[in-house]
Amino acid sequence: MEFFNFHTHQFTNQSNVLELVNQYPNEFDDAIPFYSIGIHPWYIVEERLESGLKIIEEKVQTKNCLAIGECGLDKRVEVPLDLQIAVFERQLALAEKYKKPVVIHCVAAFQEVIAIKKKMKISVPMIVHGFSKNSQIANQLIKEGFYISIGKYLLRNPELKTVFQEFPNNRFFLETDTIDENLELVYQLAADYKDLLVKDLQGIISSNFKEVFGCEM
């Protein structure tokens, strides 16, 4: 596989792209070959929580489920933070039990996510997706053992160039998330920023994939 899309909400079925498609327990599509599954903090409904977690536990035991998530914390939504934390921790426990990486959604709650990782002694890889913040936050996440995935904001915010350039090569992924732009555009810009050929960037991502997911792309 030439390209890896770490996080997308759209299955495009391109022969040269391995897509980690975001799925929700109550809207599951069996036709998607590789996916992550989780309860997003925006969509926590207490009445559906137990059934959702049961579906996640079933799916996470299959080879097509590469990760749990996206899940995490978001201080800019009305869902109570205590409830978000409880749901996040339940999913992290499943990730630990079944040794699956975790796709993290985090808005204005990086310190809380870091604290939970430490408290629960999470050993599986945790990847903050959709990164759009500054070097200080990036460096703290990397120091605490997180990976970072970037894409949409890299295309749309030139100020992220220097932030991305400081990412260690063994700690990042690329993604499209919800945007329509082609993943190859993200790779080309990332390669330019890192002063690399696209094929060399592909090698870096392939190596990171093997490290996090324990298999070849």
Q: What is the CA radius of gyration of the chain?
A: 16
pLDDT for 121-137, tens place per residue? 999 999 999 999 999 99
pLDDT at 34: 97
pLDDT at 179: 84
pLDDT at 216: 87
How far CA 73 is from CA of 119, 165, 196, in Å, comes to: 16, 26, 34
The letter for the amino acid at 196 is L
Residues 6+ apart with CB under 8 A from 114: 140, 141, 144, 146
Instruction: Answer yes or no: is 129 a known binding residue.
Output: yes
For the full predicted model, state whether its pTM sits above 0.85.
yes
pLDDT at 71: 98
The letter for the amino acid at 204 is I
How far CA 179 is from CA of 42, 83, 183, 197, in Å, comes to: 19, 29, 9, 24
**Conformational region of residue 56, where left means phi above 0, alpha means psi within -120 to 50, and beta covers everything else:** alpha
Which pair of tokens denotes residue 217? 């792309």
CA distance 21 to 69: 10
| Cα dihedral 157, 192, 164, 208 sign | positive
Burial of 75-106, coded b for 16+ CB within 10 Å and e otherwise, reads eeeebeeeebbebbebbbebbbeeebbbbbbb
pLDDT at 51: 97
What structural domains does the chain harbor? 3-213 (3.20.20.140)
pLDDT at 52: 97
Instruction: Answer yes or no: is 105 a known binding residue.
Output: yes
Low-confidence ranges of the chain (pLDDT < 70): none
pLDDT at 38: 98
